[in-house]
Structure 1
Amino acid sequence: MDNSPTALFDSYEQDFQQLVQSIREKLDGDAKEQQGEQRKAALRRVELELDEADEMVSQMEIEIQGIPQSLKPSYQARLKTAKSDLQRYKKLSKDLHAQLSRMDLLGRSSPGLAGSASDDPYAASNDRTRLLAGTALLEDGSRRLLDSQRIALETEEQGADILRSLRGQREQIVNARDTLQRADTSIDRASGTLKKMIRRMYQQRIVTAAIIVVLIVLILFILWAKLWR
């Protein structure tokens, strides 16, 4: 397993590129060439993949916080490119949705156009009402999309705050571990010093005892020499 600081970013970027490729193929293929329900289904699949791609970008933004400063500029440029691609395909998907909605509205109103000119003087007004209703629906969808983007950004900021907090706690743990290691080293040194002092004390005792023994022997020898000679 790759434990480099850029491994997760690279993995998310690879998943993002695969999603973008799939979205591009659908927008250039089924979303334009198909009609009716097949086209709607293709656009729904595109929306799901856009949501996944948006999640990948959010993950990339979180992972870039932990990339070393020496590597960060190039990865920030790659993240900016990914965001630009995502926004471009979101706009294209939105345009295709709007086009499909207009086609649906015109398709529902067109069967009555021939008879409305002669039989229903209010047909044009009804068509205009339908178009206005469709426009209102599109605007409501746009507002919901903006709300979703805002929530995603807030979630991203919260994730970044949590990541920074975890990084600070990790630094505190590392500092505490280093302090314990230094304390352990100091204890080992003190223990070695005490052992040396104890060893020297025993050596001094032995030397002192030897000197006393020699002195006693000399005294006894002197006494023996004076008393027996």
Structure 2
Amino acid sequence: MSLVYEGYERQYCELSANLSRKCNSAAVLPDGEKKKQEVSVIQAGLDDADVLIRKMDLEARSLQPSVKATLLAKLREYKSDLNKLKREVKKLTMPNSNQPAHEDLESGMAGAHEANANQRDRLTMSTERLNQSSDRIRESRRTALETEELGVSILEDLQQQRETLLHSHKKLYDVDSAIDRSKKVLTSMSRRISRNKWIVGAVIAALILAIIVVMYFKFFH
């Protein structure tokens, strides 16, 4: 699951639980300025919840189809809960001044009890979803840490392989240098052998010439 989506979901669950508590408190307040202020704060929170719902919807639609279907199903539940909360807030804005006092009291108490039950259910559901989101975030972090450790291990192996290759390259360079030196020695020896051959040839030629001269003087004089 996308970490971005989980972040939005966590924010929404926290906001939804907070709005539920505020609705629960506002339901037992008498009509007046304080109640209007409380309702105004709740309505602003509902606007923020709508924004988070839209963000989650966009993020869910950008994911793979298998994941997207699950997240969109959860989003429908969130939207349904948010619509219920909006209806309850709308009830809070309805005036009760035309009803008799005892009917106001009975209606207010009944509405408060019903609101309390609904808020408790919604709060429980939001808490469960928040816990599930927290578990998924922890699991994602654990997976990220394991992936990071694996990456570090791979980098260490690559570093060792690099050092081995550099060491092998140095050995090859040393061998190449030794071959060059051997080649130079062999070339020098070859030149010396060639020079010695010329010297030996010259000596032999001189000896042959000397023998010819000696024989000439011996037989013709």
What TM-score do you get using the length of structure 2 for normalisation? Answer: 0.53
Deviation digits for residues 40-89 of structure 1, max 9, x if unmatched? 223666899xxxxxxxxxxxxxxxxxxxxxxxxxxxxxxxxxxxxxxxxx
- Give the direction of change, closer, same or farther, for the CA distance of 1:208–1:33 in structure 2 (3 Å limit): farther
The yes-or-no answer on 1:192 pairing with 2:184 is yes
Rounded to whole Å, the distance in 2 between the matches of 1:149 and 1:116 is 47
- Deviation per CA, 1:112-152, whole angstroms, max 9, x where unpaired? 67856236855424422321221222122112111111111
Alignment of 1:143 onto 2:135: yes
2: distance between equivalents of 1:171 and 1:163?
12
Letter in 2 for 1:40: I
Look up the match of 1:17: none
Would the alpha carbon gap of residues 216 and 222 (structure 1) be closer, same or farther in structure 2, given more than 3 Å must change?
Answer: same
Q: Structure 2, unaligned stretches of length 5 or more?
A: 1-44, 62-77, 95-106
Match of 1:165 among 133, 157, 163: 157
Instruction: Provide closer, same or farther for how the CA distance between residues 146 and 44 of structure 1 changes in structure 2, counting only shifts above 3 A.
Output: farther
What are the within-5 Å matches in structure 2 for residues 62-81 of structure 1? none
Letter in 2 for 1:171: E
Query: Hey, what does 2:204 align to over in structure 1?
Result: 212
Aligned length: 147
The structure-2 alpha-carbon separation of the partners of 1:223 and 1:129, relative to structure 1 and needing over 3 Å to count, comes to same
1:40-119 to structure 2, matched below 5 A, reads 40-42=53-55, 104=82, 106-107=85-86, 109-110=88-89, 115=107, 117-118=109-110
Return closer, same or farther for 1:185/1:157 CA change in 2, 3 Å cut-off. same
Tell me the CA shift for residue 197 of structure 1.
0.8
**Using CA pairs below 8 Å that are at least 6 residues apart, which structure has the higher relative contact order?**
2
2:173 counterpart of 1:176 = no
Q: How many angstroms does 1:188 deviate by?
A: 2.1
Counting aligned pairs with the same residue, the percent is 29
Matched, 1:130 2:122: yes
2:193 aligns to what?
201
Instruction: Work out which of the two has the higher radius of gyration on C-alpha atoms and give 1 or 2.
Output: 2
Opposite residue 181 of structure 1, the aligned amino acid is Y
Partner of 1:82: none
Cα pair distance change 1:110/1:37, threshold 3 Å: closer
| Inter-CA distance 172–47: structure 2 relative to 1 (3 Å threshold) | farther
Provide the C-alpha distance between the structure 1 equivalents of 2:115 and 2:208, rounded to a whole number of angstroms: 139
For residues 149 and 171 of structure 1, do their structure 2 counterparts lie closer, same or farther at Cα, with a shift above 3 Å needed? same
Amino acid at match of 1:205: K
Query: Aligned equivalents of 1:223 and 1:106: distance in 2?
Result: 139
Query: C-alpha separation between the residues in 2 aligned to 1:111 and 1:152?
Result: 44
CA RMSD between the two structures = 3.7
